[in-house]
Structure 1
C-alpha cells in the first residue's frame, strides 16, 4: 500500500471518529431541546428536570446538569439515582465536598450500595483522607459482584498510600485481582511488572518479562524492554542476548510492519542500546 493511500485511510478514519463525536453531541443537543420543550409545558415536573440534567452531563455541560438536578430536588424528587448523578457530576468537575454531600443523601436511601461506596472512596482519596478511603474501598473489593481491573488498580494505589508506600501490600492487591479476574488480565500484569521493578526484585521482573513474551506474537518490543532492564541491573551478557532476540524478531516481520514509524524508532533504540552495552562490556 502506497504512502498516499495510507495517508488517505488515516484521514478518513480521523474524519469518521470526528463525525461520530459531532453526531453524538448533535443528537444530545436535539434531545436537550426536546426535553426543554417538555419542561416548558410542565415546569413543575421534577423528573423532567432530572432527565435533562443527565443529558447535560452527557453533553459535558456540568454546571447546567447540576442546576437541573438542584431544581429537580427542589420540586420534590428524592431518589437514589438523583443523588448518585449529582455526586457523579460533582466528582467529574472536582467539586469533592459537594460530592460527599450528595453521597450522604444517597446513603440515607441505600447505605451499603457498592457503586456509591466506590465513588465515596475515590472522593475521600482525592481529599487526601487516605485511611477512610482505604476502609471504603476495602468494602468495595469485598462486596463487588462484577469487579474490573480498574477496581484493583485503584485499591492497590490507595493501599500503597495507606501503608506508607508499602509496595508489598500494593502487590498483594494486584495478585488478588489476577486471582479473581484471571492471570491474563493485561493491565494488572503490567502493574505487577512496575511494582516488581520498584521493589528491585530482579528475578521476578525477568519472569514477568518472560510472561509477556510468551503471551504475544509481537515480541520485539518486549525483548528490547527486557534488554534495557537487564542492562540497568548490570547483566550485560543477558542484555546482549535479549537485544539480539529483539533484532531477530524484527527481521521476521512482514515488510509492512518493518516500515512503520514504531519499528523504525525501535531499531534506532536498539542500535543505541547495543552501543551502550558494548561500551560497558
Structure 2
C-alpha cells in the first residue's frame, strides 16, 4: 500500500489554502473552477481508485480542464492532499449535545471515525504524524477532547486516550477495507475461497498436532461465518479499549 505524508507542501501555501486566507485568483483562472471543486474532484478520484491514482493531471481530466489551470488555485499535489484530508474530516458529525457518559461519547466518536474510513478508504494511506493544521482537523480534535474533559484525566492522558481510541479504529478499519477489497481484487468471495481450499485443508489439518488452532478456528468460523469479521473485531475491540480507559479513570478518581 502506497503511503502519503501530510505536510510535504509549502507551509505558507498549505495554511493559506486550508484556512482560505488568500482566495484571490488571477485573471488567468477559469471562472468555473475553485479550490472547492478541485478538492472535491480529487476526493472522488481517491475514493474510487486510491491515492496511487491521484495526480493533478487526473483531477484536471475529471474536471475537463487543462492540468496547468489547476495550479492557479492549488500549488501542487502535497498541498492538495492536505486540503483533501481537512475537507473529509469536516464530514464528522460534531453535535452540540453530547451523550451523558464518557463511554457513550467515546463510542460515538469511534463509530464516526470508523464510518469515515469506510467512506474514504484512502485515508488509511495517509500518515498523519505531522497533523494537517486546518480548521476541520482542529475542530475535530477539539470536539473529541471534550468527550474526555472533566472526568478525572490529566490533559496529557486525555490526548493519549484519544490517540488510543483513534489508533484502534484506524487498525480495524484497515482490516475492514482490506477484507472488502479482497473479493473485487481477487475475483473470489470468502465463501468461494474457503470452498476452493477446503479439500487441501482437510489433508493438512492435523488436529492432533494443532489442537488449539483447530478448535478455535472451527468455533470462530461457525460463529462468524468466516475466519475474520471486521465488524466483530471492531465491536469486541472497542469494548475492551473502553474497559481499559474505565480502569484508568477509576484509578485516577479513587
TM-score w.r.t. the length of structure 1 is 0.24
Structure with larger Rg? 1
TM-score (norm 2): 0.25
